[in-house]
Chain A
Amino acid sequence: MTELRMPSLGADMEFGTLVQWRVKPGAAVKRGDVVAEVETQKGVFEIDIREDAIVSELLVAEGSRVKVGAPMAVLVPAGVRAPDERPAAAPPSVRPVMKAAPPIPVVRLDGATVPSGTPPHRPRASPLARRVAAELGIDLSAVPGTGDGGVITRSDVEQAATSAASATPPVAAMRPIEVSPKPPAATAGMREAIAAAMARSKREIPHYYLSEDVELSPAMNWLNTTNAARPVPERILPAAMLLKGVARALTRFPELNGYFVSNTFQPSAQVHLGVAITLRGGGLVAPAIHDADRLSVTELMAALADLVRRARQGGLRSSEITDPTITVTNLGEEGVRTVYGVITPPQVAIVGFGSIDERPWAEDGLIGARPVVTVSLSADHRVSDGWRGARFLRELRRLLGTPEEL
């Protein structure tokens, strides 16, 4: 048995419609006889038979649409008895099966929608500027662009990296660290980013606030004694002690150290303290001192000084920007007693220090003047509660009271 298949008559023929059979089952046909009429987009063609045969069965009804290569009739080639099986005719078409293509959906483009949880502003910078900024660890949003249309070019990035600022050494008291002036327009992007982050923080994070006054005379005595024995460049600022105290306290209060992401709190095994550094011109960065709990106070001081210097020069590493597990801020220099900070998402707490002032202090029934600092904690109530927050502050106070063990 062989089959009569719908022939391909052209490269773009996919189907043929059987208009009419010219033979009936049982008819004997000879090579070249016309057995059917088929209509295509080009017109009607006569289909002839390849070899002498008897038409055994017609498989397709008149009027049917048949794909090229599909069988239309069964034939018994002449000289072969009907019961005999003969190998099938030519192998099936190698053309891929053509399915009706699904209609192409029409995509309507709405006006640009700003996704909620605004991503940080993406500065316009040339590919080269981006590459160089990444290599040098520069935050592009802090770089003024002087290229065509305000684009940040490589030289702008290099300029930012090497911009000479008058080196202001860290001050004895806690002061906001400042960097050399930049044109106001330069921090517009940064301002926008801060605004977005703060707005989101207040929208999403249920803050609770606690504060505690810590008497620092043991700490300050230890500091002065330690510093007296050291050359000036190696001396420690009070800030380093306070940071160390926070870092160690956090190891016992993991619910204040980590990230709240996708409705889940992920505590961090490491303590990366984000230190808030203000920039003149209205910017703020809070890069991390990594593993602050593992550093000695001396090491922490060195890390802090280096961080401040690099924040001033624009040499921060991206990991320092992204890694803080908690932020510490102090505005003591500005004279405020208490700082109620806003948590930087995805962190879950922020510790604030006010100024270290001489205040009246009652102890053992006696009143004296002591150095006192007010420590505040703003924390995410989804993750911790006031009771735990209070215990954290108590621990911090205890640690600061034994400075030699920090």
Chain B
Amino acid sequence: MVTADDAAWHQRLETAGRWLARLLLGLAAVTLFAMLLLTCADVIGRYLLNAPVNGKTELTRFMMAGLIAATLPVIGVTGGHISVDLFDSRFSKRGAAIRDLVTDAIAASALAVLAYWLVFRADRLMNRGYVSDFLHLPLHPMAYFVAAMVGAAALALAIKLIIDIHYIRRPELRPDDRSAVL
């Protein structure tokens, strides 16, 4: 049974999710653009002005980690990961919904375990006081950020489980599968 109340929380959840996704993607997009400018500035500086950007390598490393980690929670729930859709037509609507529940539960638990061990590594980086070679920036904050984002991806998938269960009860509402395209 879906009541009007039901639909309301459902919608609120989706709206909140969409805003969060937009925020994270925006953050990642800005970082990517900054990385592009940094790379170009470094090339121009190195070959034309004989003055490369100091610490460009380390900044690029942090930017890469930041932009990818921020995107992970988004692609986890929007089906952005590469998967094999060969047998999609073999599943009924309800079967596909049950399959989603199983795979999302596996993925969510895997990400949760990974997040725990990322925190473990980040703690170690902090306790041993590791810093980057050139700019002497501490390494643990980015490790914690990656851990937080992987944790967020796990949480997002866990919330999606509620929607998966909803579709098992009401298979006719489930949208058709899309295949991820590279």
Instruction: Answer yes or no: do A and B interact.
Output: no
Question: Contact residues of A with B, CB < 8 Å?
Answer: none
